[in-house]
Amino acid sequence: MLTWKKIINFSIKGNPIPDKRVEKTVAEWKAQLTPEQFRITRLKGTERPHSGALCSIHEAGKYNCVCCNTPLFDSTIKFESGTGWPSFTQPITENAIKYERDTAFGMVRVEVMCNTCDAHLGHVFPDGPEPSGLRYCINSESMQLEKVL
Ligand SMILES: [Zn+2]
């Protein structure tokens, strides 16, 4: 299980190696994504709380990166945080996500990105439910739900 200590270590010493890499030009991402998806994933934007389509959905499935379709989270680790953004306690695999120290807006936070294509997803905080104690706070626009039929 990933812990806050492990995540801080990743953000300082380097991230786990992803299974594969997807790299595209800005023009290619722009052509593929909606303007809002582009703004959030490629320009590190944030959607308004409670605005995301996936915020209050609790259907079974996998939450994949909207840019490269890599599975990032699973519905079994989604929880209702009340923040207005989809929230998870763990990534689907340890190397699905990469972490970087984010000091924007005078705060020290840990930014969460897709480890395959570097899409900005959101942030992770050490105030989630037990046992991991983690809260991944993720933009709906960064993900697409692959439902389990
Ligand atoms: Zn991705």
Instruction: Domain ranges for the chain, please list them.
Output: 4-147
Query: pLDDT by residue (tens digit) across 39-79?
Result: 999 999 999 999 988 887 888 899 999 999 999 999 999 99
pTM here is 0.94
Q: Is 2.170.150.20 the CATH classification of the domain at 4-147?
A: yes
Instruction: For residue 84, report the phi and psi dihedrals to the nearest 5 degrees.
Output: 95, 5
Torsion angle in degrees (nearest 10) through CA of 92, 97, 103, 105 = -60
Token pair, residue 39, equals 């703004």
CB atoms within 10 A of CB 127: 9
Q: Could you tell me if 138 and 36 are in contact, meaning their C-beta atoms sit under 8 angstroms apart? A: no
Span from the CA of 118 to the centroid of ligand 1 (angstroms): 6
Q: How far is the CA of 96 from the centre of ligand 1 (A)?
A: 9
Query: Does the structure show a pLDDT above 90 at 148?
Result: no
Query: Ligand 1 mean position to 139 CA, how many Å?
Result: 13
Which phi and psi angles does 55 have, rounded to 5°?
-60, -50
Better-predicted residue by pLDDT, 44 or 105:
44
Quote the CA–CA distance of 29 and 32 in Å, as a whole number: 5
Distance 97 CA to ligand 1 centre (A): 9
- The pLDDT, as a whole number, for residue 5 is 96
Share above pLDDT 70 across residues of the chain, in percent, rounded to a whole number: 100
| CB proximity list for 117: less than 8 A, separation 6 or greater | 21, 22, 23, 24, 65, 67, 68, 70
Task: Name the catalytic one among 65, 68, 114, 137.
Answer: 137
- Annotated catalytic residue 114: no
Question: Would you state the pLDDT for residue 6?
Answer: 96
Question: CB neighbours of 39 closer than 8 A, spacing ≥ 6?
Answer: 45
Tell me what pLDDT residue 42 has: 98
